[in-house]
Structure 1
Amino acid sequence: IAPITGTKFNMGGYVSDEEYSNDIVFGAIDAGTIAMIGDTGDPNCFQVGIDAIKKANGKGIAIIKPRENSEIIKRIKLAEEAGAIAVGIDVDGAGLVTMKLFNQPVGPKTLNDLKEIISSTKLPVIIKGILTVDEAKICVNAGASAIVVSNHGGRCLNETFAPAEVLQEISKAVGNDITILADGAVREGVDILKYLALGADGVLIGRPIIWGSIGGRQEGVKITLETFKSQLYQSMILSGADDVKNFKSFSCILYTKKV
């Protein structure tokens, strides 16, 4: 589950941040996968996510906005104390309006910034918001454990690349050096197949999880994930893909214009 926070201004307030965090963390566990909790201008949103991970005995990942390094490291320590299995930074949140509205400074991260953050913890560090080969190589050089090829749901910069347009190039460049995740516009199981075929090792689901939480709470999240899994399985049968491990060489239904 992709990191999303701020239920009042991102989800209409139909569930609270505490409710949503619990729904995704425990709904993901019920479905046999894992959730990422997020960060936003309201510090309480990150804290309730951390609390949910702690209640789940650490079965969650904490993603942090690109704040000052000292502030990121403070939040990493909270994730460590909660037993989180990994942490991350969504570096493409450097210009988010919501952070400005809450007077929470954020900004771009250099290679040295990333090295300082990664060296501050023994947890695997994920860098989210990568759209170019150069950025991916910086993450490899910084010692990151994984990247997420993502354009933040298209909400940060108009006219940016879609992840599906750049994923294959990034995978070819660094796929042997780092774990590659991808997200964006995943609305059914076949979209997962497309991302895996383009070179992703795993796929994050965002907006449909909100629908699951609001519509059915923890059970709704579980059902949403199980539906995606069933759709993926059906897509594999109908397209002749017999093993997700072979998707990177599977190209009959890729999203790209030309393969």
Structure 2
Amino acid sequence: MNIKTVRETAREKLKGYCRVCPECNGKACAGEVPGMGGMGTGASFKNNVEALAAFRLNLRTLHSVKKPDTKCKLFGQELSTPILAAPITGNNFNMGGALNEEEWAEAIIQGCLTEGSLGCTGDAPDPAMYNTGAGVVAKAQGRGIPFIKPRELDEVPKYLRRAEEAGAVAVGMDIDAAGLVTIAVGPKTKEEMKTIISSTSLPFIIKGIMTVDEAIIAIEAGAAGIVVSNHGGRVLDHTPGTAEVVSEIVAIVDGRIPVIVDGGVRSGTDVLKMLALGADAVLIGRPLVIAAYGGGAEGVALAIRRMTKELKQAMLLTGCATLDDINLNVLS
């Protein structure tokens, strides 16, 4: 199996939902929600890609780095790479249904495990979709992170219990899905988040932080980690790209909890840029949709392995021996 074969297979299986463009930049699929596009004009999706592309890397080769190390630790887990799979679900209405929810979750979780990473599973209007993902995490001895939509407060506990039963390493909520109209969801106050977070024994991750003030709220509510994300540009048109805001959020968090970021990451050099901006790890979405549809778990593993190799090469050529060495000096 190779990347070319994976992409060709994915293009056939995703026909009408994702064009598997040479450059995944949100231009061809603008407004295609449901589907794989960005909301409205697609500006938020495009901003993610363009903001990251605007950064340049400083080439350095007069140093002692020979074999860069991409290992990291996240939520008590020793990982071989800081590249994780984002929580995605809704195969039937977003991706055409060539994979069912269990096949999708298996591809993501097992592909990530093969490469020493972690995969996330998602939530959708039908609770069975969340439960299917959590079940796959359970079969993987808990090596995965289920994410819950910002459901009504009295609904959330049963979803938390399912994650706990699965033995998940952590659980999260993609608060950036608060505007969806297909499910009873909505924004949460700090007190509501405190109630949710205090009702589980698992580390709790809040995904969808795009401002400094909400990063502070997340910490005060007890979050064990945050994800800087605009939901892949799929919920609100004309937001900044995540690469534009992650540094100021990292600064205010000041190491108290991990800061993960997603949005527009397409290569190992993109990963390096996000880490240089201060992120502890990245989540990958659309590229792993293509990988899973084109090659199942093997395709996902191949994509993560390729990006990790690219990250190592970029570290070698910027003088970074470990992830801790990656900082703003890498960027031009």
Q: 1:199 matched to which residue of 2? A: 278
Does the Cα contact within 8 Å between 1:61 and 1:85 map onto a contact in 2?
Answer: yes
AA aligned to 2:120 is M
For the pair 1:232 / 2:311, whether they are aligned, the reply is yes
- How large is the RMSD of aligned CA atoms in angstroms? 1.0
Q: 2:124 matched to which residue of 1? A: 40
2:178 to 94, 97, 103: 94
TM-aligned CA deviation for residue 251 of structure 1: 3.6
Does the Cα contact within 8 Å between 1:148 and 1:180 map onto a contact in 2?
Answer: yes
2:152 to 26, 51, 68: 68
For the pair 1:3 / 2:82, whether they are aligned, the reply is no
AA aligned to 1:229 is T
AA aligned to 1:17 is E
- For the residue of structure 1 that corresponds to 2:105, the secondary structure is helix
Q: Distance in 1 between matches of 2:207 and 2:316?
A: 31
Map 1:167-246 to 2 at 5 A. 167-246=246-325
Q: 1:134 matched to which residue of 2? A: 213
Q: 2:18 matched to which residue of 1? A: none
TM-aligned CA deviation for residue 5 of structure 1: 0.2
Q: 1:106 matched to which residue of 2? A: 185
Map 1:43-62 to 2 at 5 A. 43-62=127-146
When the two structures are aligned, how many residues end up with a matched partner? 248
For the pair 1:147 / 2:231, whether they are aligned, the reply is no
Q: CA offsets, 1:114-172, max 9 Å, x none? A: 10001001100000000000000001101110000000001110001111000000111
For the pair 1:13 / 2:97, whether they are aligned, the reply is yes
AA aligned to 1:23 is A
- For the residue of structure 2 that corresponds to 1:127, the secondary structure is strand
Q: CA offsets, 1:21-53, max 9 Å, x none? A: 011111111110010100011222111101101
Q: CA offsets, 1:86-108, max 9 Å, x none? A: 001110101124xx2xxx21000
Q: Distance in 2 between matches of 1:33 and 1:217?
A: 16
Gaps of 5+ in 1: 254-259
Q: Distance in 2 between matches of 1:163 and 1:173?
A: 16
Q: Distance in 2 between matches of 1:175 and 1:156?
A: 28
Q: CA offsets, 1:190-235, max 9 Å, x none? A: 1111110001011111111111111111111110110110011111
Q: Which one has the largest radius of gyration?
A: 2
Does the Cα contact within 8 Å between 2:226 and 2:259 map onto a contact in 1?
Answer: yes
TM-aligned CA deviation for residue 178 of structure 1: 1.5
Q: Distance in 2 between matches of 1:184 and 1:220?
A: 21
4+ runs of 1 displaced by more than 4 Å?
none
Q: Distance in 2 between matches of 1:60 and 1:6?
A: 18
Does the Cα contact within 8 Å between 1:6 and 1:42 map onto a contact in 2?
Answer: no
Q: Distance in 1 between matches of 2:276 and 2:156?
A: 33
- For the residue of structure 1 that corresponds to 2:317, the secondary structure is helix
TM-aligned CA deviation for residue 249 of structure 1: 4.2
Q: Distance in 2 between matches of 1:176 and 1:31?
A: 26
AA aligned to 2:231 is H
Higher helix share: 1
Q: 1:257 matched to which residue of 2? A: none
| Structure showing greater relative contact order (alpha-carbon pairs closer than 8 Å, 6 or more residues apart) | 2
TM-aligned CA deviation for residue 175 of structure 1: 2.7
Gaps of 5+ in 2: 1-84
Does the Cα contact within 8 Å between 2:268 and 2:314 map onto a contact in 1?
Answer: yes
Q: Distance in 1 between matches of 2:291 and 2:281?
A: 21
Does the Cα contact within 8 Å between 2:121 and 2:146 map onto a contact in 1?
Answer: yes
TM-score (norm: length of structure 2): 0.73
Does the Cα contact within 8 Å between 1:241 and 1:250 map onto a contact in 2?
Answer: no
- For the residue of structure 2 that corresponds to 1:70, the secondary structure is coil
Q: Distance in 2 between matches of 1:126 and 1:146?
A: 5
For the pair 1:160 / 2:239, whether they are aligned, the reply is yes
